[in-house]
Amino acid sequence: MMRLRVLLSLASTAVLAACATSGPPLRGEQSGWNNTPWDGRSAYGQFLAGQAAMEDGRSEEAAAYFQAARNLGEDPGLIAERAFTASLLAGEVSRAAELAPVAPGGTEGVRRLGVLTQAVDLLSRGKGKDAQALLADPTLGFPHRPVVTLLTPWAAAAAGDAAKAQTLPELRNDRLVQYFGRLGHAEILERAGKTAEAEADYKALMEVAAVRPMFAIDYGAFLERRKRRDEAVALYDSILADAPTDSALLEARARAAAKKAAPPLNTVRQGAANSLVACAAVFSNERQSQFALAYLRLALHLDPKREDALLMVGDLLDQGGDPEAARAAYARVPASSSRYPAAQGKIAWTLQNAGDKAKALTIAEAAAKSPNAGRSAQLVYADLLRANDRWADAVAVIDPLVVAEKDKPDWRLLYMRGVSLERAGRWPDAERDLQQALSLNPDEPELLNYLGYSWIDRNEHLAEALSMVQRAVKANPQSGAMLDSLGWAYHRLGDDKAAVEMLEQAIEFEPGDPDINDHLGDVYWRLGRKTEAQFQWRRVLSLEPTPEQKAAAEAKLKDGLGSKGPAKAPAVANGADTL
């Protein structure tokens, strides 16, 4: 999604006052809303249980506990704040609007979010005038001022206040409002039949190089609605020149070229939801996950089928430690959508991370073979195959993608295949891919590290390889994997004093890496520091080594090293060989 990939440099925001940590809701045992006290449970006990659930990110369960505490007579103000927050983060927006503590006297940050929640809920129910009145509250400030500024014209449009709806929203030094305010202004003008004025807004956005890719689809859709499909195709092509694999742009271009029906203009609710999603993306980029999740829940309350919002919710829930709820969000993307393969791929990764590898591969394979599958779905499947050490199968998936890009190859794709080929035991083919990738991106530290280490491990091109890993370390001096490569290079070249210095630095950055510990053990042994070597090899056994690493460490603990150290697989820094 082009829009969500464009980074906006905006003022940082504070942590959501009195809200949960960045965790997601879980469906707890006490889900739903119980209006009667829970027998045998004290109000204070329910409050503590709710607090614990909030700290764990189980917002839906927390909301139920807080409601029970409220029913049992716990401090109504405090419980209302907690129940409101939990309900909003769990996606129960109507319930959150009922519980919103908007009266003075409570926590100001929660009160402001409560006012915003009530305004959005009113807007969702077609009560534009009431929503407009709430958004005009002068105390509804930081950190909600940008979204309030963007929502105000939409509330005015819902209220039938044409003058205020067609006023361009402005907020000093806020580029988010500047750009998305103009987009909303264009859409509202188009709704009013003022197409020339609307197009002037779209063209103004197209003149800003930094955001042109972000809004090209919106302007293209406007052109399509005007039956100016050739212009739309030309616009899409101009953006695709720099982003040839963007699925949304490809879909839009195919639609316009085939002269299919143009996408309809956003409704008032959809336009307001767009403002909330834009602000949520900024919060997410700033790692303010509570605000991001709250805004996304509000956006989905206005536009329940908003697919990019569903994917973002799923990502936040997964990052917060609730893969089950994340999968539920991803599963709401319909099979007919172009985003369906991406959503299924995300489901597959949550299953992979949960240990259900067979199901993860089954889902990823089906997504890769689905009618809407594109390059990204193939890559997800290939990456899951690689994560399960099915290197040859991964190569088979990647091969057609490389062939399709033969005129303009992507270095990352060649790198990905090169690593897979190397791990599959096909070194000559892997070397070819890695060298071609490096020719396309000669300063990429990951490539320099991987190819350089591979040569050193094979006692080939040693001088060139040493220079390559030195360049990699210079570019990324805090990478344990790259420092390990440099240390191993010195070891292979016979300079174990320099090697031990590098490997000890690598251990500081990656103390839990079995390969680095194993390398350091080998160098200690060569330096005659056999007790320290045995300590490192024993540590390898405590770090969940692969069967090969375990067998090698056990053999060295038994017999030490022979005249030549064992070969090692090239180190990959943080899985960076993926796309």
Per-residue pLDDT of the chain (579 residues; tens, 9 = 90+): 444 333 223 222 222 332 332 333 332 333 333 333 334 456 556 666 666 666 666 666 766 766 676 665 555 666 778 888 888 998 999 999 998 987 777 788 899 999 999 999 999 999 999 999 999 998 888 899 999 999 999 999 999 999 999 999 999 999 999 999 999 999 999 999 999 999 999 999 999 999 999 999 999 999 999 999 999 999 999 999 998 878 889 999 999 999 999 999 999 999 999 999 999 999 999 989 999 999 999 999 999 999 999 999 999 999 988 899 999 999 999 998 889 999 999 999 999 999 999 999 999 999 999 887 888 899 999 999 999 999 999 999 999 999 998 888 899 999 999 999 999 999 999 999 999 999 999 999 999 999 999 999 898 999 999 999 999 999 999 999 999 999 999 999 999 999 999 999 999 999 999 999 999 999 999 999 999 999 999 999 999 999 999 999 999 999 999 754 444 445 454 334 545
Q: Are residues 451 and 382 in the same domain?
A: no
Asked if residue 39 is part of any domain, the answer here is yes
**The domain containing residue 357 runs over which residues?**
333-388
In a domain, 174, yes or no: no
Q: Over the range 321-343, which residues count as b (16 or more CB within 10 Å of their CB) and which as e?
A: bbbebbbbbbebbeeeebbbbbb
Total domains in the chain come to: 3
- Please tell me the distance from the alpha carbon of residue 463 to that of residue 76, in angstroms, as a whole number: 73
Of 263, 333, 274, the closest CA to residue 305 belongs to 333
The rounded distance, in Å, linking the Cα atoms of 479 and 354 is 27
Query: Which structure tokens are listed for 333?
Result: 């993307």
For residue 143, say if its preceding peptide bond is cis, omega within 30 degrees of 0. Answer: yes
Q: Taking Cα atoms as reference points, which of 326, 322, 331 lies closest to residue 312? A: 326
If asked whether residues 150 and 18 sit together in one domain, one would say: yes
Question: Which of 140, 158, 176 is where one domain is finished?
Answer: 158
Long-range CB contacts (within 8 A, 24+) of 70-78: 71/34, 71/35, 71/36, 71/37, 72/37, 72/38, 72/41, 72/42, 72/43, 72/46, 73/43, 74/43, 74/44, 74/46, 74/47, 77/101, 77/105, 77/106, 78/47
| pLDDT score of 46 | 67
Is residue 466 located within the same domain as residue 380?
A: no
The verdict on 475 and 563 lying in the same domain is yes
Quote the pLDDT of residue 253.
Answer: 97
Task: Return the structure tokens found at 496.
Answer: 């174990």
Domain co-membership, 467 together with 560? yes
Residue at a domain's end among 100, 128, 158: 158
- Whether 170 is in a domain gets the answer no
Distance CA(239)–CA(71), nearest Å, equals 56
Only one residue has tokens 């091109």, namely 461
End-to-end Cα separation, the chain, in angstroms:
15
Residue of 188, 337, 363, 164 lying closest to 267 (CA atoms): 188
One domain, residues 381 and 448 = no
Residues 450 and 384 in one domain: no
- Largest Cα–Cα distance of the chain, in whole Å? 86
| Sequence-ordered list of residues with C-beta below 8 angstroms from that of 11, at least 6 positions apart, any chain | 173, 174
Does residue 438 form part of some domain?
no
The verdict on 35 and 141 lying in the same domain is: yes
* CATH number, domain with residue 539: 1.25.40.10
Residue 538 domain flag: yes
Q: How many CB atoms lie within 10 A of CB 435?
A: 14
150 lies in the same domain as 27? yes
The per-residue pLDDT for 563 is 52
Residues 455, 526 share a domain: yes
Residue 91, in any domain of the structure: yes
Would you state the structure tokens that stand for residue 84, as one six-digit string? 């409101």
pLDDT for residue 320: 86
Does residue 474 share a domain with residue 349? no
Domain closes at, from 108, 127, 158? 158
Is 504 part of any domain?
yes
| 532 within a domain of the structure (yes/no) | yes
Whether residues 448 and 384 fall in one domain = no
